[in-house]
Amino acid sequence: MRRAILLIGLILLLVTPAMAQAAFDPALLQSVVTVLPERGTVAPRAPRGDRSEEVSGSGVVIRSNGFIVTNFHVLADARLVSVRLADGRELPAEIVGRDVTTDIALLKVEADLPPLPVAAVPPLGAPVCTASNPFGVGLTVTCGVVSAVHRSGMGFNAIEDFIQTDAVLNPGSSGGALIDGQGGLVGLVAAIFTRAADANIGINFAISAPLVSRVVDDLLAHRPIVLPEPGWRLIPLAGPERRDYAGLRVAEVGSGTPAARAGFIVGDVITAVGGRSVRKVSEAVAALFLQPPDKAIAVTAVRDGKPLALSLDLPR
């Protein structure tokens, strides 16, 4: 019994500080809205993955002057959208832009709303809270921890950079805020991982704040959002190769492409892109997309067993 009590005490010592850090400031709800799309009859191509259409969703004030970010799949085929503020007012919203490849959309309302400050990607185990509108019941806060970062290849979107959390989410939470212990926006709630039903089982995903900011900047500037195309074809390493390296093999390099100009050749093993380790093709796509425009991208590789550092220029 004493050992059980000591174990419980140790768990409480570990959990209590995290819970204290995750205390949620109710004032942050002023930066979260309920998104109310008016549905049409023909939906555009939806993002990949098993994700039910929601009658309403959530949104986060991302910039001053009334700019609100939400998910592409929350709007679906809607041409008219309104938002309900935390104080209960409902305002018409303009659809500034939307992008299916990242599942991000941008709205604008004529209201002076406080934007959430964008924060850095949190570490594993960091306390986080979500603010969203699950099942349309109204703004709701749930808390948990960061379970993983830089998740990709989940099958929801062409470009993925997810933060995984165990904070409870449900349909209607999409487009809500994932907030760190200091009140900063670290992610945009996007997806629930489930096999049988669209309900919470503790594996939930939020689009990382860096990816949200990258797409919002492009939508504000009315720039097209395209997949990065260095001109190489990457494939996973074969089983025996993974004993020596963690990365992706270059299977093909197009003549005259950015990859060819950078000096890549068939057989190179790419281990990191822009300082981020890559083991899946989806991770390389996300890492390239997140690099600042008009800046050379550092890529580390292995050729014939020797380390190699190359610089890749991608036109934007």
Q: Which residues are catalytic?
A: 73, 103, 174
Q: Which two tokens stand for residue 287?
A: 């890492």
Convert 280-295 to b/e letters by CB count within 10 Å (16 or more is b): eebbbbbbbbbbeeee
- Are 143 and 126 in contact by the 8 Å Cβ rule? The answer is no
Which segments within the chain are labelled E, that is strand?
32-38, 57-63, 67-70, 80-84, 90-99, 104-108, 127-132, 140-151, 162-165, 177-180, 185-192, 204-208, 232-236, 248-253, 269-273, 276-277, 297-303, 306-312
| Structure tokens belonging to residue 255 | 């003549």
**Spatial contact of 19 and 144, defined as CB atoms under 8 Å apart:** no
**Residue whose structure tokens are 């174990």:** 7
Beta bridge partners of 140: 132
Residue 219 has what DSSP assignment? H
Q: In Å, how far are 213, 233, 274, 306 from 309, measured between CA atoms?
A: 28, 18, 11, 10
User: Backbone phi, then psi, for 251, in 5-degree steps?
Assistant: -95, -20
The Cα–Cα gap between 68 and 109 comes to 8
d(CA 38, CA 136): 15
Pair 107, 68: CB distance under 8 Å: yes
Give how far Cα 23 sits from Cα of 7, 114, 145, 189, 230, Å: 25, 20, 12, 19, 44
